[in-house]
A and B are shown apart, each in its own frame.
Chain A
Amino acid sequence: QKEVEQDPGPLSVPEGAIVSLNCTYSNSAFQYFMWYRQYSRKGPELLMYTYSSGNKEDGRFTAQVDKSSKYISLFIRDSQPSDSATYLCAGIGRRGSTLGRLYFGRGTQLTVWP
């Protein structure tokens, strides 16, 4: 079992839709959670960063962490064609095998059509 599980999709939505991307994780040592966006033939770029449970909002993006159920979510409101990319969730900790090591899900490919 991978440390972080993510449905690879693909996910296809119309412009303006609300997109929900989800991951589950198994390692209780994870303390920080991230969402990366990767456009085709580019390197991943950090989109959202959260520490502990709760919500974090940045413009049209909301990241949510529920540590009790080990669930990570990313919501995209008013989705745009420019949001079409692969979205990767990741977890990292500060002790043991999680120290300095980012554990990724496999990524969900999202297409937003006009």
Chain B
Amino acid sequence: NAGVTQTPKFQVLKTGQSMTLQCAQDMNHEYMSWYRQDPGMGLRLIHYSVGAGITDQGEVPNGYNVSRSTTEDFPLRLLSAAPSQTSVYFCASSYSAGEGYGYTFGSGTRLTVV
């Protein structure tokens, strides 16, 4: 049971490049989310999903795309990287309801855009 796995752990991009942050969970969780964390800003929700094929925008969705073709995977795509997207990105997953509802977080991806 690996929990929530994020890859890569570190990445440096040039402005304008695109890339995909990978997130996978092996807990059969229905809910998955992507957050970014910046100093003084707390955790801000980018996109989230309540099941395969269902996604919705969070607080700061601009510049990011997601898809949820399987229950296990929830990749985050940066379309054209900008320095403002330099941040730590966390993926999280949860059961849909009831006990165990709390989200489990991955260890994060530190992204620098130069």
**Contact A88 B43, CB 8 Å, known A32-B101, A43-B107, A99-B50:** yes
Q: Report yes or no: A100 in contact with B43, Cβ–Cβ below 8 A.
A: no
Select the stretch in A13-21, A75-83, A101-109 that faces chain B: A101-109
Check B106 against A43 for contact (C-beta < 8 Å): yes
Q: Any chain B CB within 8 A of the CB of A34?
A: yes
Q: Is the CB of A49 within 8 A of B43?
A: no
Chain A residue with Cβ nearest B103:
A102
B103-A46 in contact (CB<8A): yes
**Whose C-beta in chain A lies nearest to the C-beta of B3?**
A43
A92 at the interface (CB under 8 A from B): yes
Complex formed: what's the CA distance from A71 to B70 in Å? 37
User: What's the least CB distance linking A94 to chain B, in Å?
Assistant: 6
CB distance A101 to B42 under 8 Å? no
> Would you call A107 and B48 a contact (CB within 8 A)?
no
Query: Contacts A34-B102, A46-B104, A49-B102: A102 and B50 contacting too (C-beta < 8 A)?
Result: no
CB contacts under 8 Å to B, within A1-32, are 8, 32
Residue of B42, B90, B102 ringed by the most chain A CB atoms within 10 A: B102
| Contact A101 B102, CB 8 Å, known A44-B43, A106-B41 | no
Q: Is A45 an interface residue (CB 8 A)?
A: yes
- Which B residues from 41 to 69 make CB contacts under 8 A with A? 41-43, 45, 48-50, 56, 58
Given the complex, which residues of B lie within 8 Å of A102, measured CB to CB?
33, 45, 92, 94, 103
The smallest beta-carbon distance between A86 and chain B, in angstroms, is 9
B105 in the interface (beta carbon within 8 A)? yes
The complex places the Cα of A102 from the Cα of B102 at a distance, in Å, of 9
Contact between chains at A94 and B97 (CB < 8 Å): yes
B107: chain A residues at CB < 8 Å are 42-43
Asked whether, in the complex, the Cβ of A43 is within 8 Å of the Cβ of B101, the reply is: no
Q: Are A101 and B101 in contact (CB under 8 A)?
A: no
**Quick check: is B75 within 8 A (CB to CB) of the other chain?**
no
- The verdict on B96 contacting chain A, using a C-beta distance below 8 Å, is yes
Given contacts A43-B108, A100-B30, A106-B42, could you give 7 more A-B pairs where the C-beta distance is less than 8 Å? A42-B107, A43-B106, A44-B43, A46-B103, A100-B33, A102-B45, A107-B43
